[in-house]
């Protein structure tokens, strides 16, 4: 009988990012290999509201109470949990491929990305959630993480070791290198934690560079107004959310990619830049982008997280020859090409069916 694989996903309603794309692609890739695995996959997803802190416990309980042992009279043979708190669900054959935990209860606690204030109930909820999070993660048969940064957090805060399995970008096989145009590219959600304002401010210092900022999000209006205030004009444009074809053209013909969120979990933008043989500009505290650039040498890392430090890098990119930019970006192509679904699914699926 064909086996059934449940991918456990979490989504903030009306918000879609890398985690949601990863889940969709994981389901698709398993089903493309249904004959090989003698299995089919489907996504089980619950909505998520991360505030107030006490609400997080309710979401953990919702997953705990969910019966995922069978569906429509047929057993579910394997459950692959991804984002917090999906791995709180009970299943006898549950594997964790951790996208990220609830970071405001861990590494972002007390930072400007945390809530403005907490009361006694919030603090109690965080204490309970951290304990429950550890127990839920430990209940998994095997532990994987999408990046070294995510695995390191799981080890640091929960004393759980996870093997790193980098997820391939959805457009992996369609990305090709092109020319080196006159702009630096950012792609992703437009949110404060992504630190896009540093790129805008850098352009005010380095007047030789241009930038294209792709994506949508609640921070877009703030960024557009910032660029207008600095009178950047056509040197910083915001095309918004674009089609795959448009994105591939922007990526193929940029000079470099800027990607420097705060301690980023993974960042498809980095791997996609590598596949296009483009150097990546980032900060030393950007998490996985910094680790990947440091490992491959395919880009430049600002040692200080400031617009001034970034402006020095953008000016370097602006002045560099196409040959130099190509040689730098090309360094990561073997690493990026080594990230593919056959390797991921062998560890994640075949070993546990």
Q: What pLDDT, on the 0 to 100 scale, is given for residue 93?
A: 98
pLDDT tens column, 81-134: 999 999 999 999 999 999 999 999 999 999 988 886 778 999 999 999 999 999
Q: What is the pLDDT of residues 210-229, one digit of tens each?
A: 999 999 998 999 999 999 99
What was the pLDDT predicted at 15? 85
Q: Which residues pair with 6 in a beta bridge?
A: 42, 79
The per-residue pLDDT for 16 is 83
CATH code of residue 77: 3.40.50
177 shares a domain with 153: no
Cα–Cα distances (Å) from 226 to 76, 190, 236, in that order, read: 50, 13, 10
Choosing from 139, 165, 191, the residue where a domain stops is 165
pLDDT of residue 74: 95
For residue 350, being part of any structural domain is answered with no
Separation of alpha carbons 150 and 133, rounded Å: 14
**Quick check: 324 pLDDT over 80?**
yes
For residue 346, being part of any structural domain is answered with no
For 42-78, what is each residue's pLDDT tens digit? 999 999 998 899 999 999 999 999 999 999 999 999 9
Structural domain includes residue 181: yes
Q: Is residue 329 in a domain?
A: yes
Domain endpoint, select from 125, 144, 165: 165
- Decide if 218 is inside a domain: yes
Domain interval for residue 160? 3-165
Predicted confidence at residue 117, as pLDDT, reads 73
**18 and 109 part of one domain:** yes
Do 161 and 177 sit in the same domain of this protein? no
- Position 1 scores a pLDDT of 86
The reply to whether 197 and 156 lie within a common domain is: no
Report the sign of the C-alpha dihedral through residues 208, 213, 217, 220, in that order. Answer: positive
d(CA 294, CA 288): 10
Q: How far is CA 177 from CA 40, 96, 126, 169, in A?
A: 34, 34, 46, 15
Is 225 in the same domain as 332?
yes
The single residue listed with the structure tokens 């669900």 is 89
Strands (E), 130-287: 142-145, 163-164, 184-187, 211-214, 236-240, 256-258, 280-283
pLDDT reported for residue 316? 97
Contact 134, 153 (CB under 8 A): no
Q: Is the dihedral of CA 344, 347, 352, 353 positive or negative?
A: positive
Last residue of a domain, one of 129, 144, 165: 165
Q: Check pLDDT > 90 for residue 181.
A: yes
The answer to whether residue 300 is domain-embedded is yes
User: 182 and 303: one domain?
Assistant: yes
On the question of pLDDT at 284 being above 90, the answer is: yes
Same domain for 189 and 282, yes or no, is yes
Structure tokens at 103: 């970071």
Give a yes or no: residue 352 inside a domain: no
pLDDT in tens, 162-176: 999 999 999 999 999
The SS3 call for residue 1 is: coil
pLDDT, average across residues 251-265: 97
Complete DSSP assignment for 149-198: HHHHHHHHHH----EE-PPPPTTGGG-------S-EEEES---GGG-HHH
Quick check: is 310 in a domain? yes
Q: Taking all residues of the chain, what is their mean pLDDT, rounded to a whole number?
A: 96
Are residues 190 and 107 both part of a single domain?
no
CATH at 313: 3.40.50.2000
Per the CB < 8 A criterion, the answer to whether 219 and 191 are in contact is yes
The token pair at 171 is: 């457009």
216, 268: one domain: yes
The whole-model pTM stands at 0.92
The yes-or-no verdict on residue 28 having pLDDT over 90 is yes
18 pLDDT band (50/70/90 cuts)?
confident
Same domain, 177 and 160: no
Does residue 111 share a domain with residue 92?
Answer: yes
User: In total, how many domains does the chain have?
Assistant: 2
* 203 and 323 co-located in one domain: yes
């Amino acid at each position: 009988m064909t086996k059934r694989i449940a991918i456990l996903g979490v989504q903030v309603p009306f918000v879609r990012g890398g985690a949601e794309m990863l889940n969709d692609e994981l389901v698709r890739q398993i089903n493309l290999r249904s004959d090989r695995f003698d299995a089919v996959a489907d996504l089980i997803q619950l909505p998520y509201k991360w505030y107030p802190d006490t609400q997080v416990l309710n979401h953990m309980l919702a997953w705990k109470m969910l019966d995922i042992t069978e569906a429509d009279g047929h057993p579910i043979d394997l459950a692959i949990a991804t984002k917090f708190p999906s791995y709180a669900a009970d299943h006898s054959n549950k594997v964790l491929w951790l996208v990220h935990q609830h970071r405001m209860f861990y590494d972002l606690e007390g930072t400007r990305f945390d809530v403005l204030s907490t009361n006694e109930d919030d603090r109690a909820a965080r204490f309970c959630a951290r304990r429950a999070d550890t127990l839920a993660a430990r209940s998994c048969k095997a532990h994987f993480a999408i990046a070294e940064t995510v695995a390191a957090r799981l080890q640091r805060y929960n004393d759980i070791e996870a093997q790193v399995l980098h997820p391939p970008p959805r457009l992996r096989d369609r990305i090709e290198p092109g020319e080196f145009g006159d702009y630096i590219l950012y792609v992703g959600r437009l949110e404060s934690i992504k630190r896009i304002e540093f790129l805008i401010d850098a352009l005010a210092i380095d007047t030789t560079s241009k930038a294209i900022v792709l994506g949508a999000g609640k921070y877009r209006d703030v960024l557009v107004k910032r660029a207008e205030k600095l009178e950047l004009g056509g040197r910083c444009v915001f095309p918004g959310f674009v089609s795959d074809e448009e994105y591939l053209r922007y990526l193929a013909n940029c000079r470099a990619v800027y990607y420097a969120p705060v301690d980023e979990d993974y960042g498809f933008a980095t791997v996609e830049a590598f596949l296009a043989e483009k150097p990546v500009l980032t900060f030393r505290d950007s998490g996985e982008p910094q680790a990947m650039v440091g490992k491959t040498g395919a880009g430049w890392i600002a040692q200080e997280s400031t617009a001034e430090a970034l402006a020095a890098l953008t000016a370097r990119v602006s002045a560099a020859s196409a040959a130099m930019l190509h040689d730098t970006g090309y360094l990561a192509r073997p690493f990026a090409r080594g990230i593919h679904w056959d390797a991921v699914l062998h560890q994640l699926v075949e070993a546990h069916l």
